[in-house]
Amino acid sequence: MDDLGWLRLACDLAALCPPSETAFSVGAVILGADGREIARGHSREDDPHAHAEETALARTSAGLAGATIYSSLEPCGERRSRPLTCSELILRAGIGRVVFAWREPSLFVEGKGVELLRAAGVEVVELPGLADLARLPNAHLLG
């Protein structure tokens, strides 16, 4: 599977999220350096405040150098519900590549994950052709 296929899977996972009026529905998939899936998750899957990237990262052990994380939404760079943002968690895990579909709208916080990740040397790839798919489970928030 290529980047579009993995990102489409992340978008499909977002559709599994319990709806929320205070958070986006997001899906995430982590691939190892060898291109094999390591973990996946979606927002609020195990915890009402958990983000998709956070859930997927919690299901990994070590060895994420060379890994890629696919997220339907730009990883958060600001967060109110936890001390660490998803961008910080990605950096701490040593993931070197992030692929996402949709830039975080400034509905809850300012979306600045891309800038934080790039400033730290992470390769960030935006595939906006799937942004509509990423927005679908969030339509109730977008009016």
Instruction: Give the least confident one: 3-12, 70-79, 94-103, 108-117.
Output: 108-117
Q: Which of 45, 53, 74, 104 is catalytic?
A: 53
123 is catalytic: no
Which of helix, strand or coil describes residue 33? coil
State the residue for tokens 């980047």: 3
Neighbour count for residue 15 (Cβ, 10 Å): 14
Instruction: Convert the pLDDT of each residue in 29-65 to its tens digit.
Output: 999 999 999 999 999 998 999 999 999 999 998 779 9
Asked if the model's pLDDT at residue 112 lies above 90, the reply is no
**One-letter identity of residue 52:** A
CB 135 within 8 A of CB 105: no
Reference 74, options 19, 18, 20, 138; nearest CA is 138
Domains, the chain, ranges and CATH?
3-19+29-127 (3.40.140.10)
Cβ contact 115:124 at 8 Å: no
Q: Residue length, the chain? A: 143
Amino acid 108: pLDDT: 63
Q: Distance between CA atoms of 113 and 57, rounded to whole angstroms?
A: 16
Q: How many beta carbons lie within 10 A of that of residue 95, not counting itself?
A: 24
> Looking at the whole model, is its pTM more than 0.85?
yes
